[in-house]
Structure formats: C-alpha cells, structure tokens
Amino acid sequence: MDGLRQRFERLLEQRNLATEALRALEAKTGVDKRYLAAGATTLLSLYLLFGYGAPLLCNLIGFVYPAYASIKAIESPSKEDDTVWLTYWVVYSLFGLAEFFSDLLLSWFPFYYVGKHHEAVDNIMRDLSGRALDAAAGVTRDAKVTVTQLQKDK
C-alpha cells in the first residue's frame, strides 16, 4: 500500500499540465492537491461506470495519452520506447477490430468499457481504501489524544 502511495505522490510531483492545474486549484481553494486528484479520479471512474457517452470517453482515454507518449517516443533517440508504443498500438487496434465485430455480444456484458481499464480502477480502489483506513486511524488517534488531554485537565 505504501508503494502505491509513494507512486501516487511521485506522479503529483511531476511537472505537466495536470499537476500544474492541480497546483493552481490547490492555491485557489486551499484543498490539498492529493485530495483534488483523488476526487477527480473518483468522479471520472463514476462517470465511466454510469455516465452518458462513457464508451467515447473510455476510448479517448485509451487514445489521447498514448498518442502523446508515442510522439514523444518517436522524437527521443531511444528505440526501446518506440517498441513499447508500437506494441501498444498494435494491441489497441486488434481490440478495436475485435470490438467492431463483436459489438452485439459485448452489449450483453455490463461495464465492459470500464473493464478494459480494470487495472486503473483496481489501483484507484486500493488507493481509496488505503486513504479511508488512514483517515479512520487519524480520527481514532486524534480522539485518543483528546481523551488523554481531557483526563489530564481534570
């Protein structure tokens, strides 16, 4: 759980458009960027589960960032990242082709489009459950400190 939290923290410390937006929101609202990121991820997950146009959004998520990363990989001198993204696009195309022909069958499976990104959803759920446990432990610890101080004051 700590490894996942550290990875999340490292992602928030990187310099990119998303983290800059989170920093600006943190400055304006006073809410920690970790909570803002967790809230945005939760809303996106819920929208992918129940929202209108979720398949389109899911396909955009599977296309926009990989397209950006592929362009950066092509511009880099290393060939290893080119191979990774070429493999991604071949697999992505194969899934798209299979979905085109199996759309009738896939319509019988609820939450299929979310299931395509099950690893991300699993990671988010693990992170949220860890945060809930940490919050509960913090509340319990604060309550113990308060009770101890009240006993000392008597």
Residue type (1 letter), 49:
L
Phi, psi dihedral angles at 144 (to 5 degrees): -65, -40
Q: Do 1 and 130 contact (CB within 8 A), yes or no?
A: yes
pTM > 0.85: yes or no: no
pLDDT at res. 22: 85
Range with the poorest average pLDDT among 44-48, 80-84, 91-95? 44-48
- Residue 75, pLDDT score: 92
Residues with Cβ < 8 Å from 117, sequence gap 6 or more?
48, 58, 61, 62
Condensed to tens digits (0 to 9), the pLDDT of residues 24-66 reads: 888 998 888 888 888 888 888 888 777 787 778 877 888 888 9
pLDDT digits (tens, 9 = 90+) for 17-26: 888 888 888 8
The amino acid that residue 1 corresponds to is M
Residue 70's pLDDT band (cuts 50, 70, 90): very high
In terms of Cβ atoms closer than 10 Å to its own Cβ (0-12, 13-18, 19+), residue 19 is: middle
Q: Which two tokens stand for residue 122?
A: 């699993």
